C-alpha cells in the first residue's frame, strides 16, 4: 500500500538553505518537496499552484519578509507553517510574533542564515514537518486575529488559609506560546502560589517569551535563574537548553537550573520539573498540561499522584489543543482531575485554590 506523501513548500532567500532543507526533507519517505520560493511574493504565487500541506518559511527575506508572508497565508490560504529563525535577540522576538500570527512551530537556524550546521538540525526539521500536519490550523487562524487582554479580575478572592502552601506547575510544547498567553495573562496578581513553567523551546527564545508575557500579565513573569527563591504571584519559565527543578529549604522554595541529559528528547523537560515538585513535602500541587506533541509530563504526573494523592491535575481539552499529544498522554494515565478548554484554564486554577483554601 502506498503512503500518501506530505507536500512541502520551502521558502528561503538563500539558495544554499533552500537546497539544504530540500535535501533533508526529501530524504524522508513520507515527504515530497513540491517546490521552493525565494521570498514571500514568490511563495504566495506558488501556494495556489502547488497546494502544499506544510510550508517552511524563513523570517528574514527581501521584498516580502516572513512575518508579512505568514499573515497573508493565515488570512487567505491557511495551512501549517514552520518558521526558520536566526538565533539573535531580534530573531527570537520575531519568532514569538510569528507564533501569534499563526505559525505552528519554528526551527532555530544553528548560526546565521547560511550554515553548514543545518545538517545537525536534520531530525528536528523532519520531525516538525511531520508533526505540523496534525496541527489544527483552524484554531491557529482563529487566534491570530484575537487581541489578548489582561483579565479584569486583577485580585484573587481573599480567605485562603495562611497555613496552606501552593505551587502551580505548567507544561506545554507545540502551540504553547499562544496557550500560555491565554492562561498566564488571566491569573490574578496576588495568586497565592509561584507558577513554574516548562515550554519546549531552545536557548535564546524563552527569555523573549518571558518578557512578552510579563508585559501582558498581572503576575510577574521571568526566565528563571539558578538559585532563585520562588515567590507567590510570579511565573518562572525554564530557560531553553536547561532542566528546571524546584527544591524546598528552610527558607522556602528554590530554583535549580542545570545542564543534564535530555529527557524524552527535551531540555527543559516537563517530567523533570514535575518529578521535582512531587518531592516538596509541604506544598499543595496543582499541575496543568497543555497543547504539545508527545508525552512529556505524563510520568511526572504519575509521580506527583503517587507521592501526593491530593495533587490536582488539569489537562487542556482536545477541542482547543493545537496538537492533542501531551494532554492525551496525561489523560491516558487516568489521573487527570479536570479536562478544561483553554480559555477556562486560568479560572479553573483560581477556583481550585479557593476550594482548597476553604
pLDDT at 116: 58
Residue closest to 46 by CA, chosen among 15, 77, 82, 14 = 77
Task: Answer whether residue 37 is part of any domain.
Answer: yes
Same domain, 63 and 121: yes
Q: Of 135, 158, 184, which closes a domain?
A: 135
Do 32 and 122 lie in a common domain? Answer: yes
Same domain for 85 and 22? yes
Contact (CB, 8 A) for 274 and 304? yes
H-run or E-run covering 230: none
Lowest mean pLDDT among 41-50, 153-162, 242-251, 337-346: 153-162
Q: Number of folded domains in the chain?
A: 2
Task: Please indicate, yes or no, if residue 145 is contained in any of the structural domains.
Answer: no
Residues 330 and 198 grouped into a single domain: yes
Task: Tell me what pLDDT residue 187 has.
Answer: 95
Q: Where are the alpha helices (DSSP H) in the chain?
A: 15-26, 40-50, 66-76, 89-101, 122-132, 137-144, 176-184, 206-216, 270-277, 298-307, 326-332, 345-357
Q: Judge whether 135 and 104 are in contact, CB under 8 Å.
A: yes
Per-residue pLDDT at 145: 44
pLDDT at 344: 95
Residues 346 and 220 in one domain: yes
Cα(17)–Cα(58) distance, integer angstroms: 10
82 lies in some domain: yes
Q: Could you say which of 114, 135, 156 is where a domain stops?
A: 135
Q: Are residues 196 and 343 in the same domain?
A: yes
185 with 114, same domain?
no
Q: Both 319 and 177 in a single domain?
A: yes
What is the pLDDT, as a whole number, of residue 141? 62
336 exposure class (CB count in 10 Å sphere: 0-12, 13-18, 19+): buried
Q: How confident is the model over 252-267, as pLDDT tens digits?
A: 999 999 999 999 889 9
Let me know if residue 49 belongs to a domain.
yes
**pLDDT tens per residue across span 43-100:** 999 999 999 999 999 999 999 999 999 999 999 999 999 999 887 788 889 999 999 8
Residues 250 and 291 in one domain: yes
173 lies in some domain:
yes
* CATH code for the domain of 271: 3.40.50.180
Q: Let me know: does 264 contact 228? Beta carbons within 8 Å.
A: no
Lowest mean pLDDT, pick from 54-58, 128-132, 148-152, 275-279 = 148-152
Short-list 313, 266, 315, 275, CA closest to 294: 266
- Just list the catalytic residues: 173, 200, 296
**Residue range of the domain that includes 49:** 6-135
Residue 140 within a domain: no
Are 343 and 208 found together in one domain?
yes
Both 102 and 175 in one domain: the answer is no
Q: What is the pLDDT of residue 148?
A: 43
**In a domain? residue 253:** yes
User: 201 and 320 share a domain?
Assistant: yes
Amino acid at each position: 500500500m502506498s503512503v500518501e506523501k506530505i507536500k512541502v513548500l520551502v521558502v528561503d532567500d538563500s539558495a544554499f538553505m533552500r537546497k539544504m532543507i530540500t535535501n533533508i526533507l526529501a530524504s524522508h519517505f513520507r515527504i515530497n518537496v513540491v517546490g521552493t520560493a525565494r521570498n514571500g511574493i514568490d511563495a504566495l504565487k506558488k501556494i495556489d499552484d502547488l497546494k502544499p500541506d506544510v510550508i517552511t518559511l524563513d523570517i528574514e527575506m527581501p521584498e516580502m519578509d516572513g512575518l508579512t508572508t505568514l499573515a497573508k497565508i493565515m488570512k487567505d490560504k491557511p495551512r501549517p507553517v514552520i518558521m526558520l529563525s536566526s538565533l539573535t535577540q531580534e530573531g527570537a522576538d520575531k519568532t514569538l510574533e510569528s507564533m501569534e500570527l499563526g505559525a505552528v512551530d519554528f526551527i532555530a537556524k544553528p548560526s546565521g542564515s547560511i550554515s553548514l550546521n543545518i545538517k545537525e538540525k536534520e531530525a528536528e526539521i523532519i520531525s516538525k514537518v511531520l508533526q505540523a500536519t496534525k496541527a489544527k490550523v483552524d484554531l491557529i487562524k482563529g487566534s491570530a486575529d484575537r487581541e489578548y487582554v489582561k483579565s479584569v479580575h486583577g485580585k484573587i478572592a481573599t480567605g485562603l488559609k495562611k497555613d496552606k502552601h501552593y505551587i502551580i506547575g505548567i507544561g506545554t510544547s507545540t502551540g504553547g506560546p499562544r496557550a500560555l498567553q491565554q492562561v498566564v495573562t488571566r491569573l490574578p496578581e496576588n495568586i497565592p502560589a509561584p507558577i513554574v513553567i516548562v515550554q519546549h523551546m531552545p536557548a535564546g527564545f524563552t527569555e523573549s517569551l518571558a518578557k512578552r508575557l510579563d508585559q501582558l500579565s498581572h503576575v510577574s513573569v521571568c526566565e528563571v535563574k539558578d538559585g532563585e527563591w520562588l515567590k507567590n504571584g510570579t511565573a518562572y519559565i525554564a530557560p531553553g537548553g536547561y532542566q528546571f527543578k524546584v527544591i524546598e529549604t528552610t527558607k522556602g522554595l528554590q530554583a535549580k537550573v542545570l545542564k543534564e541529559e535530555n529527557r524524552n528528547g527535551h531540555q527543559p523537560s516537563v517530567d523533570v520539573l514535575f518529578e521535582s515538585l512531587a518531592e516538596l513535602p509541604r506544598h499543595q500541587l496543582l499541575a496543568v498540561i497543555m497543547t504539545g506533541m508527545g508525552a512529556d509530563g505524563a510520568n511526572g504526573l504519575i509521580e506527583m499522584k503517587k507521592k501526593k494523592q491530593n495533587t490536582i491535575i488539569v489537562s487542556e481539552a482536545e477541542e482547543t489543543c493545537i496538537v492533542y499529544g501531551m494532554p492525551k498522554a496525561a489523560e491516558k494515565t487516568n489521573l487527570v482531575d479536570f479536562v478544561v478548554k483553554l480559555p477556562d484554564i486560568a479560572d479553573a486554577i483560581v477556583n481550585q485554590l479557593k476550594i482548597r483554601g476553604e
